[in-house]
């Protein structure tokens, strides 16, 4: 049995691959500077030893292999020790390829938005078609009991991130995934901590496109100008999807929300019709928003390229529960519905607001936003955030998370954003902390209201605090 040592084991992706390797029969252990639940508990329950802090004393016996996470810096003492001792080491993307999909056909889902949902949607579609796919996705699914698993069939679905790989490999993670099928949902500016501008992001995607094998397939959003700028570089088959009238291979129309009926006890559904080569099929999803219909259309196109019966695809969508933290009902307290959502980019913020407002119409909607990601802490997309939050009528903006990481003149300004929103007739406030936001919601909302909380982090425990105070 080979021993694998993981530097930075408690991150979501690293913990996930640790568990997959353990199930595969390897002796796995690792270290991290931040050891906390739920990942620490999950790893310990899997029989994986976690060592606190980064210290070469942790490595009393040299492992056969090391995996070094992308949060680990070049001066990390463990990384330096392992490399100096000549231990074979991999980045996480390299390890995934080596151990899990070296001989599989990979489905790589990329784009600024929708990667996680589309990846799990594709994995669930393949699962329902009886193809037993492997998958590795950076989110928590409602349809599977794990975030990643080894493939028993021929396909492996992976969320393809354009973020850099490791301190020893500054290329995008998705360069390592060798896609047979590539989905590109959209390309926008993000990850301001490593990309200087939009063009540098487009360059990464263009390189990925040119790396595709000639017998590969690229499925892309034909409404995205940035994708259209580079898709011509493809040497393989390309398949496009878009809304009605865009001249794409797959289009949809008739998108509508079928609202819940309390008398009949029915849940809401998203219904839409997809057209391809003169044929039309109706689909239903248990999740809101035109953006999710677009995600689904990419998976529909994928299924047809794979030759999967369309009725199996319909059944998969009809049973797909979605992903946690994506327009996800956290709980109901005091008659208020609390929605947890990962949105932090302007496009995702606007899509989430529109989707939740329509899904729960005619309830009053309150939107709470935390500027937490590397990009949303800055004012690079501040005007776009103002436009996105302008889709709501009631807005609360939290203080910038870890503001010291951004120079003041480049930092997102909640007070300015709220002032601008108020000038547009929107009820917008920027409380000083999470507790003030909770008090504001407790006093300002009423039974029947919907509270949409948008953050890519824990947001100071706002969810639990809000549930407690609203239950009274």
CA distance 251 to 243: 5
Asked if the model's pLDDT at residue 4 lies above 70, the reply is yes
| Domain end position, chosen among 92, 110, 133 | 92
| Domain end position, chosen among 92, 116, 141 | 92
Same domain, yes or no, for 59 and 153?
A: no
Same domain, yes or no, for 130 and 227?
A: yes
- Residue scoring higher pLDDT (267 or 463): 463
CA distance 154 to 422: 54
| Domain end position, chosen among 319, 353, 383 | 319
Mean pLDDT of all residues belonging to the chain = 93
Q: In angstroms, what CA-CA distances link 332 with 265, 368, 436?
A: 17, 16, 20
| Backbone φ and ψ of 433, nearest 5° | -160, 175
pLDDT of residue 446: 94
Tokens of 373: 């990601």
Same domain, yes or no, for 208 and 314?
A: yes
Place of tokens 């409380």: 431
What total of structural domains would you count in the chain?
A: 3
Same domain, yes or no, for 390 and 461?
A: yes
Helix (H) or strand (E) holding 385: helix 382-389
CA distance 17 to 203: 28
Residues 6+ apart with CB under 8 A from 79: 7, 54, 68, 72, 73, 89, 167
pLDDT of residue 265: 66
- Whichever domain contains 72, its CATH number is 3.40.50.720
The sign of the torsion formed by the CA atoms of 153, 292, 142, 129 equals negative
Helix (H) or strand (E) holding 422: helix 414-423
CA distance 336 to 471: 10
Same domain, yes or no, for 17 and 107?
A: no
CA distance 305 to 58: 49
pLDDT of residue 215: 97
Same domain, yes or no, for 310 and 179?
A: yes
Same domain, yes or no, for 332 and 424?
A: yes
Note the pLDDT tens digit of each residue in 74-114. 999 999 999 999 999 999 999 999 999 989 999 999 999 89
Note the pLDDT tens digit of each residue in 230-287. 999 999 999 999 987 768 999 998 789 998 766 666 788 999 999 998 899 999 999 9
Note the pLDDT tens digit of each residue in 379-417. 999 999 999 999 999 999 999 999 999 999 999 999 999
DSSP designation for 217: E
Question: Are the C-beta atoms of 313 and 125 separated by less than 8 Å?
Answer: yes
Same domain, yes or no, for 351 and 453?
A: yes
Same domain, yes or no, for 78 and 151?
A: no
Q: Which residue range is the domain that position 180 belongs to?
A: 100-319
Question: Are the C-beta atoms of 288 and 327 separated by less than 8 Å?
Answer: yes
CA distance 127 to 119: 12
- Whichever domain contains 437, its CATH number is 3.90.190.20
- Whichever domain contains 272, its CATH number is 3.40.1190.10
Q: Name the percent of the chain lying above pLDDT 90.
A: 81
Note the pLDDT tens digit of each residue in 19-69. 999 999 999 999 999 887 778 888 988 999 999 999 999 998 999 999 999
Question: Are the C-beta atoms of 130 and 166 separated by less than 8 Å?
Answer: no
Residues 6+ apart with CB under 8 A from 429: 395, 396, 397, 418, 440
Same domain, yes or no, for 121 and 45?
A: no
pLDDT of residue 151: 96
């Amino acid at each position: 049995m080979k021993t694998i040592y993981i530097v930075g084991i408690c991150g979501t992706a690293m913990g996930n691959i640790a568990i997959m390797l353990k199930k595969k029969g390897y002796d796995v252990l690792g270290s991290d500077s931040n050891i906390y639940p739920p990942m620490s508990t999950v790893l310990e329950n899997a029989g994986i030893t976690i060592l606190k802090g980064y210290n070469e004393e942790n490595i009393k016996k040299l492992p056969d292999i090391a995996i070094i996470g992308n949060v680990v810096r070049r001066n990390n003492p463990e990384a330096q020790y392992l490399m100096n001792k000549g231990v074979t080491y991999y980045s996480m993307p390299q390890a995934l390829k080596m151990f899990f999909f070296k001989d599989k056909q990979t489905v790589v889902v990329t784009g600024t938005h929708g990667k996680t949902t589309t990846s799990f949607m594709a994995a669930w579609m393949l699962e329902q078609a009886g193809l037993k796919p492997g998958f590795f996705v950076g989110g928590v699914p409602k349809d599977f009991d794990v975030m990643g698993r080894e493939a028993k069939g021929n396909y492996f679905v992976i969320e393809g991130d354009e973020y850099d790989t490791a301190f020893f490999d500054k290329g995008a993670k998705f360069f390592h995934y060798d896609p047979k099928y590539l989905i590109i949902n959209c390309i926008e500016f993000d990850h301001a901590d490593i990309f200087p501008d939009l063009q540098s992001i487009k360059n990464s995607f263009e390189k990925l496109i040119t790396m595709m094998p000639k017998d590969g397939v690229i499925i892309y959003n034909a409404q995205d100008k940035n994708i259209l700028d580079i898709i011509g570089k493809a040497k393989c088959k390309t398949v496009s999807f878009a809304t009605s009238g865009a001249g794409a291979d797959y289009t949809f129309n008739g998108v509508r929300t079928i609202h819940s009926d309390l008398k009949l006890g029915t849940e809401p559904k998203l219904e839409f019709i997809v057209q391809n080569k003169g044929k039309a099929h109706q689909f239903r999803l248990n999740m809101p928003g035109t953006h999710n219909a677009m995600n689904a259309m990419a998976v529909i196109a994928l299924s047809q390229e794979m030759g999967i019966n369309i009725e199996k695809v319909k059944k998969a969508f009809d049973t797909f529960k979605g992903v946690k933290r994506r327009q996800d009902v956290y709980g109901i307290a005091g008659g208020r519905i609390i929605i947890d959502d990962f949105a932090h980019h302007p496009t995702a913020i606007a899509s989430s607001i529109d989707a939740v407002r329509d899904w729960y119409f005619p309830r009053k909607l309150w939107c709470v936003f935390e500027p937490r990601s590397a990009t949303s802490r800055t004012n690079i997309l501040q005007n776009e955030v103002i436009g996105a939050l302008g889709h709501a009528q009631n807005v609360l903006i939290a203080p910038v998370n870890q503001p010291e990481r951004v120079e003041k003149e480049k930092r997102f300004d909640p007070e300015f954003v709220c002032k601008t929103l108020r000038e547009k007739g929107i009820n917008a406030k920027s409380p000083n902390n999470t507790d003030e936001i909770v008090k504001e919601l407790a006093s300002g909302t009423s039974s029947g209201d919907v509270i949409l909380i948008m953050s890519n982090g824990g947001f100071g425990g706002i969810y639990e605090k809000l549930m407690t105070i609203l239950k009274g």
